[in-house]
Structure 1
Amino acid sequence: MNEYVLRTHRLTKKYKTQYALDNVDLSVRQGTIYGFIGQNGAGKSTLMKLVTGMAFPTSGTIELFGASDEREIVRNRKRMGVAIESPALYPHLTAQENLEAHRLQRGVPGRDCVARTLKLVGLDGTGRKKARNFSLGMKQRLSLAVALLGDPEFLILDEPTNGLDPMGVVEMRELLQKLNRERGITILISSHILSELHLLATHYGIIHRGKLLEQLTVQELQEKCRQYVHIKANDPERAAAVLERELATTEFEVLPDGVIRLYSHLEKPASVSKALVAGGLELEQFMPMGEDLESYFAARIGGGANG
């Protein structure tokens, strides 16, 4: 089995003089949930359209399930489920009729997959209700159901929680986690709002103005955003000894410039400074540091993460 479901190499899409994507090298590992984040217009949807064959690159290559030959890529796209932009739903049809229509169009064998997929997304009790009368959350679920027809190995979802109320966001997140956990489906999900992704994604890609700025795991992101107390004292070695002896902690590091980063006792900074001063140390700098997830992304893209 190939380690990567999707890889791109120097993938570029140019419209006249405007680059929608600029030499993007993106990698999505098998079994992961890849959160693709960037502001509106950053290039998220463009990349997804190139991968799904809805648009064609100006230059660069795409590798899908280990295949880079165009004919093999077309064949491997049948192993994908896609929900990009507005879902292609028939408003005058029921949920079951919508899925049956899509099943026939795509040549998915076996009618039993319709009922099974409706149950999976929680729409099995909608009966004769027409899609035009569905709530936005129900339409998003139906769009996901269309993408799930044929039991795909790889889901590509563009802003699937757009317009949902808080409960709808939670339900969608739990459903995607279930698909990933129980069925091993790899998911590439885009959003310009970090709060939709930070409880879901196992890997992240940050894109801004067509350029992929960074790819990292959730563990790497948490490490980069780790909170700590920044301490600069007149005697770093003695300060370290005081932390170990008086506060019974080894959760700190002494940097080459003598600055200490203390990762424990974050909720009790006063007790830390009191212990250091009582140990005969002069504190030149003492302040909480570190970023939360929102501010980290905002700093990388040079603006508000919700922009």
Structure 2
Amino acid sequence: MKEYKIVGEHLTKQYKNRKVVNDVSMHVVNGEIYGLVGPNGAGKSTMLKMLLNLTKPDMGEFTIDGVSVQKNGYQTLRKVGAIIENPYFYEQLTGRENLELHCEYMGYPNLEEIDKVLGLVSLKNIDGKHVSQYSIGMKQRLAIARAILTRPEILILDEPINGLDPDGIIEIRRLIQELNKEHGITVIISSHILSEMELLADTVGIMKDGNMIQEISMKDIHEQNAAYIEIETDNAEKAGYILNEILQIKQFRVISDGIIQVFDLSKSGKEISSALMKYGIGVESIQKKQNSLEEFFFKTTRRSLA
């Protein structure tokens, strides 16, 4: 039996004549990383703002540990650290000074925690550096330090890797995984970068046009989507004929002029490659793959609109 830390039921939010969130329910398992995925404008940020009681839903409610956020915001949100949209700091102060001000604002007396969180986000040895001198990645890490400073049970991150370079993305990914696995923090991340969510999330909620299309675990996505062989060739039409007539492979799909996906694995990649080359078809690459979150997302959202 799954233990849900956060539950959203039948949430709706309308601005003027447009429903940006339309009767959406959401279920976050305690101790997991939950990825709220979808294109820009899908309603992800609005969902998180309603969870944080920054925006009032027109209908529905969120609960944390069974307690309504909308009715008991102070009680529930003491358990939460969050970064929504761009993090802002006092640029002429150091990271430590910004965190000290945050402790004062929050009425949190344990200043010794500042050293711990700065060490956790690898910012401990830059005490003399003003935030104005920080890179985008350093500011994101400082924002996470501020969000976890008061030891929350839940961390909410809205598009945390936007604008980061590849090294910064890897740093933030490792930090989120450490906070989740080693410190037991339940994490919700919204993102339109599906490849990154595939590496991080235990469960994803797929949103499009204000609707929750599906909630599904990454384990189920991989189990439902069997492996296949992808061939890059110089003549997809002729290759398709060879697959069908010579190799008697019926389950394949031509993706583009040069890409074919083969779902019948009765023949190995080596056998397929040899047969194609025997009939004069150039094979640029052939490899075994498994459907990704990106492919599942596009199949699911297309199906929902059909």
Q: TM-score, normalised by structure 2?
A: 0.79
Contact 1:7 1:27 in 2 (8 A): yes
Q: How big is the shift at 1:263? A: 5.3
Q: Any idea what the Cα deviations from partners look like across 1:205-256, whole Å, max 9, x if unmatched?
A: 1000100001111111112332247x999xx9xx9xxxxxxxxxxxxxxxxx
Indicate the percent of aligned positions where both proteins have the same amino acid: 38
Contact 2:213 2:300 in 1 (8 A): yes
Partner of 1:195: 195
Partner of 2:295: 295
Q: Any idea what the Cα deviations from partners look like across 1:38-83, whole Å, max 9, x if unmatched?
A: 0001001000000001111011121112112744343110100000
Partner of 1:33: 33
Partner of 2:254: none
Q: How big is the shift at 1:193? A: 0.9
| Number of aligned residue pairs | 266
Task: Find the residue that maps to 2:182 and give its secondary structure.
Answer: helix
Task: Find the residue that maps to 2:269 and give its secondary structure.
Answer: coil
Partner of 2:222: 222
Pair 1:268-2:281 in alignment: no
* Alignment CA distance shift 1:261-1:163 (3 Å): closer
Q: How big is the shift at 1:32? A: 0.4
Q: How big is the shift at 1:292? A: 3.2
Q: How do 1:163-174 and structure 2 match up within 5 A?
A: 163-174=163-174
Contact 1:265 1:272 in 2 (8 A): no
Task: Find the residue that maps to 1:268 and give its secondary structure.
Answer: helix
Contact 1:38 1:301 in 2 (8 A): no
Q: How do 1:142-221 and structure 2 match up within 5 A?
A: 142-221=142-221
Task: Find the residue that maps to 2:198 and give its secondary structure.
Answer: coil
Partner of 2:237: none
Q: Any idea what the Cα deviations from partners look like across 1:148-190, whole Å, max 9, x if unmatched?
A: 1111110000011111110110111011101111111000001
Contact 2:117 2:149 in 1 (8 A): yes
Partner of 2:122: 122
Task: Find the residue that maps to 1:161 and give its secondary structure.
Answer: coil
Contact 1:62 1:68 in 2 (8 A): yes
Q: How big is the shift at 1:199? A: 0.9
Task: Find the residue that maps to 1:183 and give its secondary structure.
Answer: coil
Q: d(CA) in 2 for partners of 1:264 and 1:154?
A: 46
Q: d(CA) in 2 for partners of 1:269 and 1:141?
A: 49
Which residue identity is paired with 1:268? K
Q: How big is the shift at 1:197? A: 1.1
Could you tell me which runs of 5 or more consecutive residues in structure 2 were left unpaired when the two chains were aligned. Answer: 230-242, 250-261, 277-287
Q: How big is the shift at 1:5? A: 1.4
Q: Any idea what the Cα deviations from partners look like across 1:71-110, whole Å, max 9, x if unmatched?
A: 4343110100000101131111100001011111111221
Q: How do 1:14-29 and structure 2 match up within 5 A?
A: 14-29=14-29
Which residue identity is paired with 2:272? A
Task: Find the residue that maps to 1:20 and give its secondary structure.
Answer: strand
Which residue identity is paired with 2:298? A
* Alignment CA distance shift 1:261-1:194 (3 Å): closer
Which residue identity is paired with 1:59? M
